[in-house]
Amino acid sequence: MTNLFSSFDPTILVLEYSIRINWLSSVIIIFIFPQLYWLIGSQLSKSFNKIIFFLEVELLAIFRSLGTPGRVFFFIRVFFFIVFSNFMGLFPYIFTRSSHLRFTLSLALPIWLGRILMSMVYQYNSLFAHLVPSGTPNILMPVIVIIETVSRIIRPGTLSIRLAANIIAGHLLLTLLGSQGPNIRLLTLILLIGALILLIILEVGVACIQSYVFTILSSLYINELIRISFNKKIL
């Protein structure tokens, strides 16, 4: 069990001391992006531009006229940071930081908490009034308030757990299948290698999809709070 979960351990043993230096894998991105500023018109920069344009269109469709300048590009940065964190975890001997709740919750919680606190300070009436949808019977109001409150509180937790759980599941499956190699015959080993290749391709897709889901859901949660305040001001 220790070997199975060793890739998720943020500590490393150096001279009989446990040092948490595996988190330094987060700075690997710094050595990848600078070449975009030197290689003009490269295929890599064109691919990044296409991804940025696609995300910009998606996020503008969510925020529309309610988004402040720079908000769309903030979520694009979040997407690239998460997708590179997921990709780095697929390489051997590189710490998978996106599989830890400490990492994912530190991304989801500030985005959600910052907007909630701003709404409570400046638009607290509209924020609390939205907990009870219009037309709700009086007898059901206490139950609806509890349900809406719980659903809003658990949003950063569900975002972080969704991302971490999907990354952990794929890595554990790769580890379990890969550990069976020395104990099987040649024909079965060939089939196992083919299955591992397909699983790695699936993990690449999961890394991209989960980054996109995290970014879109975060923007939807923020957009919902903005629309509550905006509609209340109009009324």
For the record, the structure tokens of 129 come out as 């009034």
29-85, pLDDT tens digit by residue? Answer: 666 666 555 556 667 777 778 888 888 888 888 877 665 667 888 888 888 888 888
* Structural domain contains residue 215: yes
Q: Which domain holds residue 190?
A: 6-234
* Structural domain contains residue 1: no
CA distance 41 to 36: 9
The residue among 55, 225, 89, 228 whose CA lies nearest residue 163 is: 89
Query: 164 vs 178, which has greater pLDDT?
Result: 164
129-141, pLDDT tens digit by residue? Answer: 667 777 777 777 7
CA distance 98 to 88: 9
For the record, the structure tokens of 80 come out as 């690239």
Is residue 46 within 8 Å of residue 137, measured between CB atoms? no
The pLDDT score that the predictor gives to residue 34 is 60
* Structural domain contains residue 32: yes
CA distance 171 to 199: 10
In the chain, where does DSSP find H-type helix?
A: 43-63, 71-88, 101-122, 124-129, 141-153, 155-178, 186-234
Helix axes 155-178, 101-122, angle to 10 degrees: 170
Domain count, the chain: 1
